[in-house]
Amino acid sequence: MGGLAAACHPLPAAAVTLFAAVLAVAAGHGPAGAALVAGAVAAGQLSVGWCNDRADLRRDLATGRRDKPLVAGRVSAAAVARAAGTALLLCVPLSLAAGPLAGAVHLACVAAAWGYNLRLKRTVLSWAPYALAFGLLPAFVTLGLPGAPWPPPWLMAAAALLGAGAHFANVLPDIDDDLATGVVGLPQRLGAGRSAALAGLLVLGSTAALVWGPPGRVTAYGWALLGATAAALLLAFRRPARRLPFLTVMAVAGADVILLAARLRP
C-alpha cells in the first residue's frame, strides 16, 4: 500500500484537494457540500497521479528514476492502472452529485489532466491542460451552489495562471531526462532558464490577479503577500534544477487561498 500511495503524487493531490475544500467553505458550501467537493477533487487527483506514473513507467525505467515506486518495484504496474481506473470511476458520480453543470466542469478538468499525461505533455501545448484544469476548478466549486453561479473572471484567470506556472515549475528538474526520452513540451523547448523565469512571472501574475482583481481596497495582507511572493519566487528560481521552485509554488498557492477565502467569505 505504501508504494501505491506514493505513486499517486500525494503532495500535489493533497494540496489541490485541501485548496478546493477551503474554497468551498469560503464560497458558502455547508459541511456536506464542502465534503462532496473535497471527495470529487480527491478522486480526480488520485486518478491523475496514478495515471501519470503508469504512463511514465517506460521513460522512468529508461532514466533510472529509482525514486518512483513503479521503477523501484514497490508496486506493480497493474495495481497502479487499476487504482487509476477505480479513482476515475468514483470521480464521475461524486462530481455529478454537485449538479450536472458543476460535474461536467470538474470532469473536464480531470479529462484535461489525463490528456496531459497521455499525450499533450509531449507537445507545445503542454501548459494548456494545467491552465484549463486549474482555471475551471473554482467554477466547479461555485456552480455547485444554489443558483449555479459562475466565479468572477479574475478568480478563474488567477487559477489558470497558477496552473500554468505550476506546470513550468514542476518540470524544471526533469528537463534533461524528458529531452532524452522524447518529451518535448513547451518548457523543454524553452530550456530551464527561460522556463524558470516564465514560471515565476505566471505565479506572480496569479497573485496579482487575486490582490487587484476583486473590488474594494487592497488589504495589508494582500500587499504583503504580493511582496513576499515576488521575493520567494526570486530566491527559489535561482536554482531551477531542484524541487524548490515547485514547492515554492505550492506554498504561494496556500497563501493565495487564505487571501481568497477572506475575499469570498459570505
pLDDT at residue 142, as a whole number: 95
Q: What percent of the chain has pLDDT over 70?
A: 97
Number of domains in the chain: 2
Domain stop point among 102, 117, 150: 150
User: Does residue 86 share a domain with residue 166?
Assistant: no
pLDDT at 30 over 60: yes
Per the CB < 8 A criterion, the answer to whether 19 and 140 are in contact is no
Under DSSP, the state recorded for 42 is H
Whole-number Å distance between alpha carbons of 250 and 183 = 24
Q: Give the residue numbers spanning the domain of 112.
A: 1-150
pLDDT given at position 159: 92
What is the C-alpha separation between 219 and 225, in angstroms, rounded?
Answer: 10
User: Comparing C-alpha atoms, which of 192, 210, 211 is closest to residue 200?
Assistant: 192
Write down the pTM of the prediction. Answer: 0.91
User: What whole-number distance in Å separates Cα of residue 158 and Cα of residue 138?
Assistant: 10
**Rounded to whole angstroms, how far apart are CA atoms 109 and 130?**
9
Q: Which of 215, 231, 223, 233 is nearest to 259 (CA)?
A: 223
Pick from 67-76, 91-100, 188-197, 227-236: least confident? 227-236
Which has more pLDDT, 265 or 224?
Answer: 224
Give the pLDDT score at 263.
66
Ranges of H-type helices in the chain: 2-6, 10-27, 31-55, 57-63, 69-72, 77-96, 100-118, 127-143, 153-171, 175-180, 186-190, 192-212, 220-236, 244-264
Classify residue 31 by burial, with Cβ atoms within 10 Å: 0-12, 13-18, 19+.
exposed
What are 132's three cell numbers?
484549463
**Residues 38/44/48/49 CA torsion (nearest 10 deg):** 30
Whether 81 contacts 128, CB under 8 Å: no
Do 260 and 157 share a structural domain? yes
pLDDT mean across residues, the chain: 90
CATH number, domain with residue 63: 1.10.357.140
Does residue 144 contact residue 28 with C-beta atoms inside 8 Å? no
- Residue 130 shares a structural domain with residue 201: no
* Residue 170 and residue 121 share a domain: no
**One domain for residues 80 and 186:** no
Based on the fold, state whether residues 146 and 170 are members of the same structural domain: no
